[in-house]
Structure 1
Amino acid sequence: MSLIKCKNVSLSYDGLIVANNISFEINKGDYYSIIGRNGSGKSTLLKALLHLKSTESGSVEYGDGLVQSDIGYLAQQTPVQKDFPASVNEVVLSGCLKGGVFKPFYSLSDKKLALEKMELLGIANIKSKCFRELSGGQQQRVLLARAMCATRKILFLDEPVTGLDPVVTTEFFNIINEMHRNGITIVMVSHDIHCAVKYSNRILHLEDGSVMFDGPSKEYSRSKIGIEFVGGHKHD
C-alpha cells in the first residue's frame, strides 16, 4: 500500500524550476534511492516529500495512515550543526520530540529508546561527549540515532555518507539495511549510484528535473541510463 504518492509535481529553487511533472509512489517496505547528477533536483524533491517545501504544481499525498510523527529525517549536515555544543545523549534524545513540541523533561521511555539506539549504533560509550568533538563518522551515527528515535514507519536520508571514508560508509549502509529488514521504509538521496543500486530495491533517477527511470534496481542496471551510469547488461 502506498505511503506516499507524488502526483505531477513541479518544484522550484531560487525561482528556477528544478523538478518538472514528477509522479511516483513509495510503498510500505520500499528501499527507494533517488539518484542523479548534482543539481538534478534530488534534495529539493526530498524536502517536498517531507512537506518541508511547497510544490509549484501537483501534490504529495500521504497514505496508509502515515503522519509526520511516523517520519525520521537525516538531513545534510551544515557547518553550524557540526559545531553544535550539545552532548551526544542530548542530540539523540531530541529525536523523541514530536511536532517540535518542547519537553522540559524526557520520559523514562524516551531515555530508554535513546539508549537503545545509541547501543545499536555503538555510540553509548560516548554519550557524554560533546557532539562537536566527534569525528565525521561518529557524528553521522549520532544523527542517525536521533532520526531513528523519530522513525516509526519511514526514514528519509539526504546524502548521508558524504565525506565518510569507505569503511564507515559500508558500516552505515549495513545499519540502514538492518533497519529496512526490520520493517522501516527507506528513502535516500544519494550521489553514489553504485551503492544505491547495490543496497536499494527501487531507483528513481532524475536528470534536469525529469524522471529518467523509476523502477526496480535490477531493471535499472539493465536499462539504457543504468548501463550509461553504472554499467550492466542489456536485455536479450
Structure 2
Amino acid sequence: MSIVVQNLQVWFGKQQILKEINHTFAENRISAIIGPSGCGKTTFLKSLNRTLELDAGYRLEGKVLVSGEDIYQREAGDIRRRIGIVFQTPVALPLSIKENLLFGVRYHGERNKKRLNDITENCLTQAGLWNEVKDKLNSPANKLSGGQIQRLSIARVLAVDPEVLLLDEPCSNLDPASTRLIEELLVELAKKLPVVLVTHNLFQAKRIAHMTIFMINGQLLESAETTKLFTNPDKQETSDFIAGLTW
C-alpha cells in the first residue's frame, strides 16, 4: 500500500506553509524527511493523517491518496487509526502501562478480554518492551523512562493495527541506547507497512531510511534513494544542507 500526495498546499491564515508537494511513499519502506527547522516537515507529516485539522486556522488544497482513496473525503477518526502518528515528546496517559496501550483499542470498541490481553503482549513485544514491563502492566506508565514511554507510544499506535506509521522526531530526546532500540523497531516494522520519519538527525536517516526527502521553505526540493541523496544530490541546496554549510 502506498501514499500518494498530489499538489498538496497548506496555509495557516494568510501564510502558506506547504507549496505544491507531490510525492509517493512506497510500501514496506522507511522514508525520512529532512530539512531546516520551520521548513514545513511536521505540517507535512500531520497532513498525511488528518491531525493537521486539529490546529486552528489551517486551509488545505490537493489530495492525499491511500489505496486510491482521498483521505480528506473519509471519516477523520478512521483515517487517524489507519495512519498512526507518534509525536516528538513521549506521551504517557495518566493510566497504567496496559491501559495506555489499550486506550485506542478500547475507544474503537474492543471488549474481548482474551483479545485485549493478546494485543497487549503482541504490541509490547513488537516495541521491545514486553520483557521489561510484563510484571508491572498495572503500574503507572509515567514511571517508565523516556525511552520506554516512547516505545509505549509506538506500541499504542500499533495496537489499533495501522496501515501506515508516521513519526515526528521520535528519538530527539532519547539517549543512544534508546535510539538504537527504536531504530531497530522501525526497521522491523517497515517490513510490514510504510514508515515515514521526520528527523533532524542526518545520521539516523542514513542508517535506517530507504528514501530521503529534503524540504526547504515549504517545498519538497529533492527526494531520492538515501545513499544517492547523501552522496550525490541533484540540488546545490541539498548538498549545502547535508554539508552543514547553511541553516
TM-score norm. by structure 1 comes to 0.84
Match of 2:88 among 76, 79, 83: 76
What SS class does the counterpart of residue 43 from structure 1 fall into? helix
Q: Quick check: 1:53 aligned with 2:52?
A: yes
Aligned AA (2:145): S
- Deviating above 3 A after TM superposition, structure 1's stretches of 4 or more consecutive aligned residues are 64-67, 100-103, 224-227
Against the structure 1 CA distance between its residues 109 and 162, is the aligned structure 2 distance closer, same or farther, given a 3 Å change threshold?
Answer: same
More displaced stretch, 14-23 vs 52-61: 52-61
Question: Which stretches in structure 2 are left out of the alignment for 5+ residues?
Answer: 54-58, 72-77
Matched with 2:32 is 33
Q: Quick check: 1:216 aligned with 2:225?
A: yes
Matched with 2:143 is 133
Q: Quick check: 1:186 aligned with 2:223?
A: no
Matched with 1:108 is 114
Against the structure 1 CA distance between its residues 106 and 40, is the aligned structure 2 distance closer, same or farther, given a 3 Å change threshold?
Answer: farther
What SS class does the counterpart of residue 119 from structure 2 fall into? helix
Against the structure 1 CA distance between its residues 226 and 194, is the aligned structure 2 distance closer, same or farther, given a 3 Å change threshold?
Answer: farther
Deviation at 1:153, TM superposition (A): 2.5
Contact kept, 8 Å, 1:114 with 1:149, in 2: the verdict is yes
Deviation at 1:75, TM superposition (A): 2.2
Matched with 1:234 is none
More displaced stretch, 159-168 vs 122-131: 122-131
Paired with 2:122 and 2:37, the residues of 1 have a C-alpha distance of: 36
Deviation at 1:172, TM superposition (A): 0.9
Deviation at 1:93, TM superposition (A): 1.1
Deviation at 1:15, TM superposition (A): 4.2
Matched with 2:95 is 86
Paired with 1:57 and 1:166, the residues of 2 have a C-alpha distance of: 39
Match of 1:156 among 146, 166, 169: 166
Matched with 2:154 is 144
Q: Quick check: 1:62 aligned with 2:66?
A: yes
Contact kept, 8 Å, 1:93 with 1:111, in 2: the verdict is no
Give the aligned length: 223
Contact kept, 8 Å, 1:114 with 1:146, in 2: the verdict is no
Aligned AA (1:160): P
Q: CA RMSD in A?
A: 2.3
Contact kept, 8 Å, 2:150 with 2:170, in 1: the verdict is yes
Against the structure 1 CA distance between its residues 114 and 21, is the aligned structure 2 distance closer, same or farther, given a 3 Å change threshold?
Answer: same
**Alignment identity in percent?**
22
Deviation at 1:14, TM superposition (A): 5.4
Aligned AA (1:115): E
Question: Which stretches in structure 1 are left out of the alignment for 5+ residues?
Answer: 232-236
What SS class does the counterpart of residue 143 from structure 1 fall into? helix
Paired with 1:88 and 1:191, the residues of 2 have a C-alpha distance of: 29
Paired with 2:181 and 2:149, the residues of 1 have a C-alpha distance of: 14
Contact kept, 8 Å, 2:2 with 2:194, in 1: the verdict is no
